[in-house]
Structure 1
Amino acid sequence: SEPSVSAKAAAVVNADDGAVLYAKNERQHLAIASTTKIMTALLTLEAARDENRAVTISAEMIRVEGSSMGLRAGDRLTLRDLAAGMLSVSGNDAANAAALAVAGTQQAFADKMNAKAAALGLKDTHFVTPSGLDDGAHYSCAYDMAQLACAAMKNADFAEIAGKKALRVRFLSPAVTRTFPNHNKLLSQYAGCNGVKTGFTDKAGRCLVSSAERNGVRVIAVTLNDPDDWRDHKALLDYGFSKLTGRAFDDSSFRLSLPVAGGAAQSVAVRGSDGGSRVLRTEEAQGLVRTVELPQFVYAPVEEGQALGCVRYTAGGVTVAQTELTAAGNVPRFVQKNWLQKLWEGIRRLFSRR
């Protein structure tokens, strides 16, 4: 049965394709607090991928209230390390510094945030600040935040940072290394949790976006304005995993002989293939029908690797996967010899015995 959660809005999705598994007021516009930094960190890391440049912290960059990674004017650190400060201790100073370093002004960075949101199809989202501090025009919804998290967790740098229980940041100036704990307690409390971000303001309440992976299945959960978010996320992630199943489609051990018409051999060996794995809805996985599709025979010539058919997997009449069946060898066309060829071969055999 569906979990009962105390959140004002919630969503659970398949992280592979964003398909909704659970929803509660998922399109309602709400404040999202520091879960905003999912977008800020993603854009920062995309900029760092082009050039992970060092940023010299200015007084303007750290002129922001709220949670902080303790930056001071004159500090130097890389864009990637600023992202680490956002995703661990939710540094508003790190978010502000990255925004100014990447775009020049907060407004220009907000424009980048909204352009990225549009590119991801987030129709109920509007960003104003890089940190998520309360602003009437700064909002999103549980559905959009789940889709944003799907995109962010597909960024290898983002996923690596968001999944660490503690993050070491190496400052270039002063030359020190500091360790920051990750505020996401689910990384320690929920098996398979690998991200993503906490948030809180008086207006937004407690906000949480979480990600977990088990047996190749990846689930993302979002709660907005939820006084009991840790408990609720455990229930939501459990529910998500109950709705999905990882299924391998490996037919590489498949062997069969297929008759060959007009060939030098009467048949050709058929070889199966590995179609990889897919995440299916649990009811789909339980109702899979496997069908081998091959013709009754094939005409020569047959070349090794030639496609001959497939193994099709359907659920409710809809194809969910298929693997290719190919020829395991060559079968040339049979050529009927005329009487002159036969006579000549007979003479050659006669003289070869002498």
Structure 2
Amino acid sequence: MGTRHSRVAAWTLVATFSVIAALVMVPRHALAADSEPSLSEAQAAIVVDSTGSVLYEKNPDEQINMASVTKVMTAVVALESGTPLDKVCTLSKPELAENAMVAGYEAGSTSSLEDLLHVMLVYSANDAAYEVAVAVAGSEDAFVQMMNDKAVELGMNDTHFENPHGLDADGHHSTVHDLAILARYAMTTQPFIADTVRMQSTTVNVNGIETTFPTVDHLLGSYDGLLGIKTGAGNYVTAFMGCARRHGTTLYTVVLGCQTREGRFTDTEALLDWAFGTYDSYVLASPEKAMGERPFAYDLALMCPVATQATTKGLVWPDAGPTTYVRTMSSTAQLCAPSDAAGVCTWSQAGRTVGACTYVATAKLTYARSGFGLVDELSPNLMGAKSA
């Protein structure tokens, strides 16, 4: 095994007991190492990539009211509860703060759970959030407990929910760090949420009348690549959880503690512009590039190429020093079948994780060389072997 050092395509091999490699990428543009986004209002802010790697953070663990960003967790818990989206819910018209944004459901009216979720996420209707909680758990308190349990499960250790809608309440708070976890989770595990938060409006039945509600996310349609996801506005602060994709790179942002509704959007744009403009995207690993071979467990005349199952990309800051990686691979004598794990690799830059992947034995079996020469042919059954 060896240590590899590289500048672009140049490799030097040094014998050692583990594989530790350094890859230095030539910067395509230069930026000051202390470059930071220019924020106008946010007390706390964060931008992470699709792996959760932090590109920038400000007061990441400060507990602040997240307001209606709460509704993202409400949607996650409701969708994971198994309650059918077509469930007909009889509504109760809860008592909410006088200035609370509502859809206007009357007591005794009905709605499907799906419509309630749509108007909650798109228009941020607080009465809809309450009705979702009751429809799923039977009571608001029981549902809030489910929300807090989910926060613990996700590792959102500085988050506590007091209600399902986000209206001001003592002890109702989160951090940008925790909400970045929630943003990635919601957008990657719940297609319903990812689709809904991109809607410019939603039309639902309210008290027997088809009513159209516009989105409260004013960045949708105006910021290039924005995918959602949720606004928040309390009595004293505003917030925004965002997601955007450009050229195959997905970023997640959270701003908390802004003073104005416009300020949360301005600071979100600043975070995204800075991150998209500062970091270069690189392909770190590809299924097309084999990282060696392992003997096929069921016929030693054959070999299983080893490669990553999916393309792994990472964001690299050109002026932050070399990007290094540590690759740990199984013995070249390990017997493998397609999909068996054969190694792992993690890339980092200046203490920040850039990307990671797992290498597996693939089903593209090849001939093996031995002292008796090259095997003449492959069994048709083996040629057609596929990963489990």
Letter in 1 for 2:366: A
Letter in 2 for 1:188: G
Answer whether contact 1:217 1:244 (CA < 8 A) is retained: no
Distance (whole Å) between structure 2 residues aligned to residue 192 and residue 273 of structure 1: 31
| Secondary structure of 1:97 counterpart | helix
The aligned runs of 1:139-150 (5 Å cut-off) are 139-150=173-184
**Distance of aligned partners of 1:315 and 1:123 in 2 relative to their CA distance in 1, 3 Å threshold:** closer
Q: Does 1:165 align with 2:203?
A: no
Number of corresponding residues? 321
The aligned runs of 1:60-75 (5 Å cut-off) are 61=94, 65=98, 66-75=100-109
| TM norm structure 1 | 0.74
Answer whether contact 1:244 1:279 (CA < 8 A) is retained: no
**Distance of aligned partners of 1:45 and 1:255 in 2 relative to their CA distance in 1, 3 Å threshold:** closer
Q: Which residue of 2 aligns with 1:190?
A: 223
Answer whether contact 2:336 2:361 (CA < 8 A) is retained: no
Distance (whole Å) between structure 2 residues aligned to residue 36 and residue 306 of structure 1: 39
Answer whether contact 1:41 1:158 (CA < 8 A) is retained: yes
Q: Does 1:229 align with 2:261?
A: no
Q: CA RMSD in A?
A: 4.2
**Distance of aligned partners of 1:246 and 1:170 in 2 relative to their CA distance in 1, 3 Å threshold:** farther
Letter in 2 for 1:211: C
| Secondary structure of 2:159 counterpart | coil
Distance (whole Å) between structure 2 residues aligned to residue 313 and residue 193 of structure 1: 29
Cα distance, 1:69 vs structure 2: 1.6
Distance (whole Å) between structure 1 residues aligned to residue 221 and residue 152 of structure 2: 34
Letter in 2 for 1:221: T
> Is the radius of gyration larger for structure 1 or structure 2?
1
Q: Which residue of 2 aligns with 1:245?
A: 281
Q: Which residue of 2 aligns with 1:329?
A: 367
CA-to-aligned-CA distance 1:293-340 (integer Å, 9 cap, x gap): 9x99x9xxx999899x99989667x994576687523668749xxxxx
Percent identical among aligned pairs is 31
Distance (whole Å) between structure 1 residues aligned to residue 307 and residue 347 of structure 2: 17
Gaps of 5+ in 2: 1-34, 294-300, 374-388
Distance (whole Å) between structure 2 residues aligned to residue 36 and residue 76 of structure 1: 24
CA-to-aligned-CA distance 1:189-238 (integer Å, 9 cap, x gap): 111111111111223x1211111122332211111121322111111012
Letter in 2 for 1:231: T
Distance (whole Å) between structure 1 residues aligned to residue 169 and residue 270 of structure 2: 31
Gaps of 5+ in 1: 258-264, 336-354
**Distance of aligned partners of 1:180 and 1:78 in 2 relative to their CA distance in 1, 3 Å threshold:** same
| Secondary structure of 1:189 counterpart | coil
**Distance of aligned partners of 1:323 and 1:142 in 2 relative to their CA distance in 1, 3 Å threshold:** closer
Cα distance, 1:168 vs structure 2: 3.0
Q: Which residue of 2 aligns with 1:201?
A: 234
1:13 to 48, 51, 69: 48
Cα distance, 1:249 vs structure 2: 3.1
**Distance of aligned partners of 1:271 and 1:182 in 2 relative to their CA distance in 1, 3 Å threshold:** same
| TM norm structure 2 | 0.69
2:185 to 117, 126, 151: 151
The aligned runs of 1:14-163 (5 Å cut-off) are 14-16=49-51, 18-47=52-81, 52-59=86-93, 61=94, 65=98, 66-154=100-188, 155-163=190-198
Answer whether contact 1:11 1:222 (CA < 8 A) is retained: yes
Answer whether contact 2:308 2:357 (CA < 8 A) is retained: no
Task: After superposing the two structures, state which structure 1 stretch, 6-15 or 240-249, moved more.
Answer: 240-249
CA-to-aligned-CA distance 1:120-165 (integer Å, 9 cap, x gap): 1111111111111111211111211111112111211111111222
CA-to-aligned-CA distance 1:261-281 (integer Å, 9 cap, x gap): xxxx9xx99967564222313
